[in-house]
Amino acid sequence: MPRRRALIVVDVQQDFCEGGSLAVAGGRDAARRISALDRRRYDAVIATRDAHIDPAGHFAPDGSAPDYETTWPQHCVVGTAGFEFAPELTIDFDAEVHKGATTAAYSGFEGTDPATGRPLTAVLAELGVGDVDIVGIAADFCVAATASDALLAGFGVRVLAALCPAISDEGADAAFSALADRGAQIVREAP
């Protein structure tokens, strides 16, 4: 019997797309292309979302420049337009996971379903998922962290790299190389 496969859509939110406070080039195009995926290829589709309330030092202090490694511009604050999914993202989700309310969180596996409080691992287990395809923003941060934690949790992992815009191409290449070394399949051609 084939293993059940889920698509994990990482942080395709307004603030991470062009025009947002922490925009990643290609975010809106990725949202459109993710939405064009054949939903029938997946047993489940799960979205992650940065959901900041007061993320304890994650944002650069007022008047200070972020270092873009440990501090960032204010982004994805719950209740703001930047928190919302990009309007180009029209694929239907079976579940949603929020992360980073009161602390920095990059991996979707650090989040929980806001309706039930269940972590992503439990959501996937309940759906009987053994393999995941990962897409979203940004390849070199939240996508990489989510893929890394999926490997640690024992899932078969494919990263659809063409649907993962990056803050830095060099950062994405390093992240994808490290993930491949650990057993992830990096799919570079567009699906």
Cβ proximity of 37 and 30 under 8 Å: no
Q: Can 113 be counted among the known catalytic residues? A: no
Is the model's pTM score more than 0.85?
yes
pLDDT value, residue 69:
79
Catalytic member of 50, 76, 133, 142: 142
Q: Among candidates 109, 112, 99, 113, which has minimal Cα distance to 52?
A: 99
CA distance 120 to 1: 24
pLDDT value, residue 97:
98
How would residue 1 be classed by pLDDT, with cut points 50, 70 and 90?
A: low
pLDDT value, residue 144:
98
pLDDT value, residue 185:
98
Q: Where in the sequence is the domain holding 156, given as residue range(s)?
A: 4-49+85-96+108-182
User: Is the pLDDT assigned to residue 30 strictly greater than 60?
Assistant: yes
Which two tokens mark 86?
């990009």
Q: Distance of CA 83 to CAs 6, 60, 78, 170, Å?
A: 23, 18, 6, 27
User: How big is the chain, counted in residues?
Assistant: 191
Catalytic member of 17, 99, 131, 140: 99
Domain with residue 136: its CATH number is 3.40.50.850
In a domain, 72, yes or no: no
Q: Could you give the 3-state DSSP secondary structure of residue 144? A: helix
In a domain, 170, yes or no: yes
Cβ proximity of 171 and 142 under 8 Å: no
Q: Can 131 be counted among the known catalytic residues? A: no
**Upstream peptide bond of 138 is cis (omega within 30 degrees of 0):** yes
Count of domains for the chain: 1
pLDDT value, residue 104:
84
Catalytic member of 11, 15, 140, 149: 11
Q: Can 133 be counted among the known catalytic residues? A: no
In a domain, 77, yes or no: no
